[in-house]
Chains A and B, each alone.
Chain A
Amino acid sequence: MAATALEKLATWRVRGTRASEQVVEQGIIVLEQGALKRMGDDAWAFLEQLALASLDIGRLDIADDCLEQLTEEFPGSPRVECLKGIRLEADDKPGEALNFYEAALREDDTNIALWKRQIAVLRGQGPQTIPRAVEELTRYLDTFYADVEAWIELADIYSELNLYALSLQALAHVLLLASQNPFYVLRFAETAYTAGDIPLALKTFLRVIDMDESGPSEGNATKRAWWGVKLTSSRLLSSSNASSDSQTLAPSAEHLKLLDELATERLAGSYSTTSADRQARGRDVVLAWLIGRKR
């Protein structure tokens, strides 16, 4: 049983999945079966993972245990320092956590994990400190331009504040740095739509679909992109005003009709039931909606 638990935990580590309830469940199994000793070097990554997950669900006792072992093995380690900061955050003392990060950064300004936690805490405190979070994040990105995760965080903060144009600018950097990730392109498309630039959204949704090389089974980004194509093409068909801040030209009415039909066909097709036990749900509702939006 410990073997499967170890596998699951390893997968979650690699993917950076935040399934904290399950990580703690599986982690406890591993500890109870004494499997820690057999893990070799993986043991430390596991303890870090378990510490984070335990903090996430409020099991401070488990986190403290892990932290103790990690501190003993890696005294003065930047990674462990970061965990200590997060432990303070879990006590719901953002002020103390911020002091901790700021002091630690004065000692070692190369520990970017600490800087990111500082920004996260500033963001987490809400409207009062968000401007400072943006300021710090912008400063961070001036130094560490290639950090895609940080650009996404910035885009996310801007869209939370309804500043969609700024969010789009941040995402443009993401696309420069990581043009092959369909989810980033998809996020750009959805943000463009929200910002009111429908032609740009349509063009970008199509780009997501174009990027998909998985053959007959569509990737998840592609599935959402087809919905986006349907939404944008039918909207452009029904309103004559296709204004675009990015000066993107909308396709001709004829092309829009074809795109609309293609999207409708693809979406309807994805609801055809393949087997008795894997029934597509809400099929009638989707078909009614697709037909209703035909122009």
Chain B
Amino acid sequence: MASYTLSHQAYLKIIFHAAKHPHKPVNGVLLGKQTATSVLVTDAVPLLHLWTNLSPMMEIGLDLARTHADALGLQVVGYYQATERLDDRALAPVGEKVASKIKENFNDAFALVVDGEKMGTEEPALIPYIANGTSWHPHNSAFAGDSPFTLENQKSPSRAMALIRERGLHRQFGDFDDHLEDVTVDWLNNAGCTDKGAKKT
């Protein structure tokens, strides 16, 4: 099985997206590249928080994210989602569809589901899903011990919470749905939402 490393920036963006819309499902894609040893997820591009079960804007957003990835020499390597229910850790049908589509172009594609109950803690609040044929299954030992899933920066979870609680940084976060209403929303980069003060452990 491939191994995956999630960058600090990608982790923050996923959590910001979820935190900005706590009572709605949100989703987006993961950008990154295959290195010799693992899949490195360098960034996350947020897509929707409205009508997340409907496909047209998702398809367009996915296409645009792919074009953006190409320009940066990256690939679309995965999909992420968060729901409004704390106890809902399943990858939604929409998620399975999009993740499978991503897998057509990137064999080691995976999905991340935000674990609402772990969001306020210091533990990584993400559950990875891996494909087995056409069905997707959660991976149990994620982000712990010798799991194939690791965080580039162990402090990402606590840093995400600090930035949300103390600086309200998630409020400046914009996704494709926001961009559709206002083209000045920087959904592909969200340059204003990076953590300049982060130090690697």
CB proximity of A37 to chain B, nearest CB, Å: 31
Q: In the complex, A65→B93 CA distance in Å?
A: 41
Tally of A interface residues using CB under 8 Å: 36
A159 engages B53 (CB within 8 Å): yes
Q: Identify which of B4-12, B99-107, B130-138, B186-194 touches chain A.
A: B186-194
Q: In the complex, A201→B57 CA distance in Å?
A: 13
**Residues 43 to 82 of chain B near chain A (Cβ within 8 Å):** 51, 53-57, 59-60, 63-64, 67-68, 71
Q: Identify which of B27-35, B121-129, B177-185 touches chain A.
A: B177-185
A190 engages B56 (CB within 8 Å): yes
CB proximity of A83 to chain B, nearest CB, Å: 17
CB proximity of A39 to chain B, nearest CB, Å: 27
Known: A126-B88, A187-B51. A281 touches B183 (CB 8 A): yes
Q: In the complex, A281→B23 CA distance in Å?
A: 27
Interface residues on B, range: 20 to 34
- Nearest A residue to B174 by beta-carbon distance? A281
A43 surroundings in chain B (CB, below 8 A): none
B67 engages A289 (CB within 8 Å): yes
Dominant SS at the A interface?
helix
Q: In the complex, A228→B183 CA distance in Å?
A: 16
CB proximity of B68 to chain A, nearest CB, Å: 5
Which of A18, A223, A280, A288 is B67 in contact with, Cβ under 8 Å?
A288
B184 engages A281 (CB within 8 Å): yes
Q: In the complex, A278→B184 CA distance in Å?
A: 6
Q: Mark A187-224, 1 if CB is under 8 A from B, else 0.
A: 10111011000000100000000000000000010011
B85 engages A126 (CB within 8 Å): yes
CB proximity of B92 to chain A, nearest CB, Å: 8
B166 surroundings in chain A (CB, below 8 A): none
Q: Which of A224, A270, A279, A288 has the most CB of B within 10 A?
A: A224
**Residues 155 to 199 of chain A near chain B (Cβ within 8 Å):** 156, 159-160, 162, 187, 189-191, 193-194
Q: Please, could you name 19 A-B residue pairs with CB atoms under 8 Å apart, sorted by A?
A: A56-B23, A124-B85, A159-B53, A162-B53, A187-B54, A189-B56, A190-B56, A194-B54, A201-B56, A220-B180, A220-B181, A224-B180, A270-B183, A281-B187, A282-B188, A284-B71, A285-B188, A289-B63, A292-B67
Q: Does A231 contact B (CB under 8 A)?
A: yes
Question: Assuming A160-B92, A220-B181, A282-B183, what are 19 further A-B pairs, CB within 8 angstroms?
Answer: A56-B23, A57-B22, A126-B88, A159-B53, A160-B53, A190-B54, A190-B55, A193-B54, A194-B56, A220-B180, A223-B180, A227-B56, A231-B60, A232-B56, A281-B179, A281-B184, A282-B68, A284-B71, A292-B67
Which of A18, A57, A231, A284 is B56 in contact with, Cβ under 8 Å?
A231
B23 engages A18 (CB within 8 Å): yes
A285 engages B87 (CB within 8 Å): no
B64 surroundings in chain A (CB, below 8 A): 282, 285-286, 289
A44 surroundings in chain B (CB, below 8 A): none
A227 engages B60 (CB within 8 Å): yes
